[in-house]
């Protein structure tokens, strides 16, 4: 157990280092968020949208930004031809956990940036209950990272690297998206924390289920 965690952390640090070197995923994600938010701004023009629509659109930005960057961690290994070496040096569980940690950090960072940009640029987006909103963002980021990590592992093995990723991820992520959109709407409307508890239960059970299944199945995807 200790060795597993240590080796997972090593995989995570390795990914962080190579990310620091190229800043590929981070810049791709950032630019994606910026472009999508400006597209929303331009399409809205001077007219505002309802709070419900804006809280839905927030997750549209997050989802597609995640789809542009979160597959990077696995696709990179295939492109550089380093996946074989990684298979030899680390156990599949450690690789999975390391990559998962990397994607979680990435997606939490991505969401934090998106929240700031969204709040600054889009005027009608006001949050009534901050606690619900923060919890939704946290759980949403973790869930998104959990689901997209295993799909990224699948996609890296398939011949089409980028195009299929959102197609495969969307049905898997949809329960999460519907729930976080609902919770964000509650937060925007200023609901009390108790009202959103049902949403949080769904989110937590979703994360647990996806993590458990990915952990069990990753072995089959990873090994040749």
Partner 1 sequence: MVLKILIGVLLTAVIVLGFGLPMVAQPASLFEFPIIPGLEEKARIIFFHVPTAWLSVIAFLTSMWYAIQYLRTKDRMNDEKSAAAAGLGLLFTVLATVTGAVWAKFNWGSYWNWDPRETSIFVLLLIYGAYFSLRSAIEVEEKRATLSSVYSIIAAVTVPFFVFIMPRIMSGLHPGAKGDPGGAGPVVEFRMAPGMRMVFFTSLFAFTLLFIWMFRLRIRIAHLESHDHRED
Among 28, 113, 157, 189, binds partner 1 (CB under 8 A): 157
| Closer residue to partner 1 in complex, CB, 121/220 | 220
Among 58, 96, 118, 206, binds partner 1 (CB under 8 A): 206
Q: By CB under 8 A, tell whether 171 contacts partner 1.
A: yes
Instruction: Work out how close the CB of 37 gets to partner 1 at its nearest, in angstroms, rounded to a whole number.
Output: 26
CA 1-207-201 angle, 5° bins: 125
Tokens 């606690």 sit at which residue?
A: 131
Q: By CB under 8 A, tell whether 162 contacts partner 1.
A: no
Among 29, 137, 168, 187, binds partner 1 (CB under 8 A): 168
* Nearest one of 206, 207, 172, 187 to 134, comparing CA atoms: 187
Question: What residues between 110 and 129 interact with partner 1 by CB under 8 A?
Answer: none
Q: Which residues contact 205 (CB under 8 A, 6 or more apart)?
A: none
Among 11, 25, 132, 154, binds partner 1 (CB under 8 A): 154
Among 170, 190, 192, 197, binds partner 1 (CB under 8 A): 170
* Nearest one of 170, 221, 154, 211 to 59, comparing CA atoms: 170
Q: By CB under 8 A, tell whether 24 contacts partner 1.
A: no
Q: By CB under 8 A, tell whether 217 contacts partner 1.
A: yes
Q: By CB under 8 A, tell whether 46 contacts partner 1.
A: no
Cα 213 from chain centroid (whole Å): 17
Residue 70, both tokens: 């979160």
d(CA 8, CA 2): 10
Segment near partner 1 (CB under 8 A), from 72-80, 88-96, 111-119, 207-215?
Answer: 207-215
Q: By CB under 8 A, tell whether 14 contacts partner 1.
A: no
Burial class (CB in 10 A: 0-12, 13-18, 19+), 21: exposed
Q: By CB under 8 A, tell whether 193 contacts partner 1.
A: no
- Cβ density class 28-67: b for 16+ within 10 Å, e for less: ebbebbbebbeebeeebeeeebebeebbbbbbebbbebbb
Residue 137, both tokens: 């963002």
Among 128, 172, 189, 191, binds partner 1 (CB under 8 A): 172
Residue 181, both tokens: 């959109």
Instruction: Work out how close the CB of 64 gets to partner 1 at its nearest, in angstroms, rounded to a whole number.
Output: 16
Which residues of this chain interact with partner 1, rule CB under 8 A? 150-151, 154, 157-160, 164, 167-168, 170-172, 174-175, 178-179, 182, 198-199, 202, 206, 209-210, 213-214, 217, 220-221
């Amino acid at each position: 157990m200790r060795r597993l965690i240590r080796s997972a952390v090593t995989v995570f640090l390795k990914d962080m280092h190579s990310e620091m070197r190229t800043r590929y995923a981070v810049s791709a994600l950032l630019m994606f968020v910026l472009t999508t938010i400006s597209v929303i701004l331009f399409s809205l023009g001077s007219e505002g949208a309802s709070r419900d629509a804006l809280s839905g659109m927030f997750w549209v930005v997050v989802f597609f930004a995640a789809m542009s960057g979160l597959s990077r961690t696995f696709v990179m290994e295939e492109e550089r031809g380093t996946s074989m070496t990684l298979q030899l040096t680390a156990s599949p569980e450690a690789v999975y956990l390391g990559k998962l940690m990397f994607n979680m950090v990435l997606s939490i960072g991505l969401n934090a940036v998106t929240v700031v940009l969204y709040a600054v640029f889009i005027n009608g987006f006001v949050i009534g209950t901050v606690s619900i909103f923060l919890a939704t963002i946290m759980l949403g980021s973790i869930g998104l990272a959990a689901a997209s990590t295993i799909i990224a592992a699948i996609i890296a093995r398939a011949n089409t690297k980028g195009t299929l990723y959102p197609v495969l991820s969307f049905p898997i992520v949809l329960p999460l998206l519907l729930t976080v959109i609902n919770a964000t709407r509650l937060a925007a409307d200023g609901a009390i924390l108790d009202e959103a508890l049902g949403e949080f239960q769904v989110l937590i059970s979703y994360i647990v289920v996806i993590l458990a299944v990915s952990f069990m199945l990753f072995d089959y995807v990873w090994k040749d």
